[in-house]
Amino acid sequence: MENTVSILHAKELLLLLGLILGVGTATGFLARLLKIPDVVLFLFAGMALGSAGLGVIDVKVDSTLNQLLLIFGSCYILFDGGASVRLSVLKGVWPTLLSLSTLGVLISAAVTAVAAQYLLNLPFIFALLLGAVIASTDPATLVPVFRQVKVRAKVAQTVMSESAFNDAMGAILTFAVLGVAMSGAAFSLGDNLSALLYQSLLGILGGGVLGYLAALLIAHEKLSFLAEYAPVVTLMAVAAAYLGVDNLHASGFMAVFVFGMVLGNKDLLGLSMPAEEASKLDDFILSTSLMMRIFIFVLLGSQVNFALLQQYFWGALGIVLVFMLVARPMVVFLCALPNRQANWTLKELLFMCWTRETGVIPGALAGMLVGMKVPYSDIIAAVTFMAILLTIVLQATTTKWLAQKLNLLED
């Protein structure tokens, strides 16, 4: 009987995964015909099939399956984003990138907190917690969008890199504010900056070391005995980079992004793969990233709580509009303008003001707060879902249009 039950569960799981991939394939094809980013239709498909819609997909936020797909999917998409970054392009913009990923997160959280305190009458510490949760951008959305919309390299890679690096800052700020909110302790700027520095540096170091080792094993002239197994090496190394660094209480997400950067820029290390093997690896990465994208956004859409959205609709809408139209422009101009070396144009800055989708990481943080039964976590979750819906539906779909208007598309 036990085996029969386990087999039934396995069949149900197989059917669910097949359904999600089938729906993702169909909506992805439709998105290509409509010339819009596929993540938008993935999200809508999940909402239609989720518990608030047809009830076909019912995967709990705290289930093992959801957490596995969320963690590994985010990691592999981050790896893909890192592999597409060219260090030669970022050489002149690193001060902007550093400022956006640190100071920018703090500014976003503070401005959003003021709006949340005023519009939803939240105590300021919980309003700041809300701001910290949604302050980081989403590489799982931005990387695929810039895969499909060929924006000027300097702008695209700055925004993609920011989305990876600021995840660590957003998570650290969230848990720092949570500690103060739950304990009533004083907020220590020095301690939290030290934690940020530790998590970031260890993530960079771990990702860099693993990326170099992987590059040696698949691209070194004499040591590349795993060249034929390069796709498998990427899967193992992405999991190892995340788990290894995360177990040291540092940023696993930063580690996998840096791992991708090192592997994607292996030519700078004097390493190269045969054209055939390199093509196979690129195809594998693109296909795997697409599958992870389908799983993440279909499931994310299926878990949207419409009852919460309806209950706090107007307050959440006002907060997200302030977040998009006030906080983000402040962040971009305050963090990018001082970097004269980058020679940012007004058109580039305006594009960066609009392009900052919210997605997987804020959704996961909000889900964790709800699971921990943190006070006001239902309000935080409602605003987070509103931010995810508005930024993906409005910003992701208009990225190409705005880039055309601002003459930022690559030839």
CA distance 88 to 231: 25
Query: For 335-393, what is each residue's pLDDT tens digit?
Result: 988 888 878 889 999 999 998 888 777 877 787 787 777 888 888 888 988 898 888 88
DSSP state at residue 373: T
376: left (phi over 0), alpha (psi -120 to 50) or beta: left
Q: Tokens standing for 51? A: 């518990």
Quickly count: other Cβ atoms within 10 Å of residue 78's Cβ. Answer: 33
Contact 75, 327 (CB under 8 A): no
The DSSP result for 227-288, as a single string, is GGGHHHHHHHHHHHHHHHHHTTTS-HHHHHHHHHHHHHTGGGGT----HHHHHHHHHHHHHH
pLDDT at 188: 63
DSSP-derived 3-state class of residue 74: helix
Q: What are the distances in angstroms from CA 332 to CA 109, 137, 144, 398, 407?
A: 14, 13, 22, 19, 19
| Each residue's pLDDT expressed in tens, for the chain with a length of 411 residues | 456 788 888 888 888 899 999 999 999 899 888 877 777 888 889 889 888 778 888 887 777 888 788 788 878 887 887 787 777 777 778 888 889 888 899 999 999 999 999 999 899 889 999 999 898 887 767 777 787 788 888 888 888 888 877 776 777 788 778 878 887 666 666 666 677 778 778 888 988 898 888 888 888 777 777 778 888 888 888 899 889 888 888 778 788 888 988 888 888 887 777 777 778 888 888 888 888 888 888 888 888 778 888 888 899 999 999 999 999 999 999 998 888 887 888 999 999 999 888 877 787 778 778 777 788 888 888 898 889 888 888 888 888 899 899 888 876
Query: For 162-207, what is each residue's pLDDT tens digit?
Result: 887 777 677 778 877 887 888 766 666 666 667 777 877 888 898 8
CA distance 164 to 360: 12
DSSP state at residue 36: S
pLDDT at 186: 62
C-alpha dihedral, 313 to 314 to 316 to 321, nearest 10°? 130
Place of tokens 């999200």: 43
CA distance 403 to 325: 18
pLDDT at 400: 86
Q: Tokens standing for 310? A: 């309806």
First to last CA, the chain: 62
Helix (H) or strand (E) holding 388: helix 377-390
- Full-model pTM: 0.80
Q: Write down all domains in the chain, each with its CATH number in brackets.
A: 2-405 (1.20.1530.20)
CA distance 261 to 41: 29
Quickly count: other Cβ atoms within 10 Å of residue 295's Cβ. Answer: 24
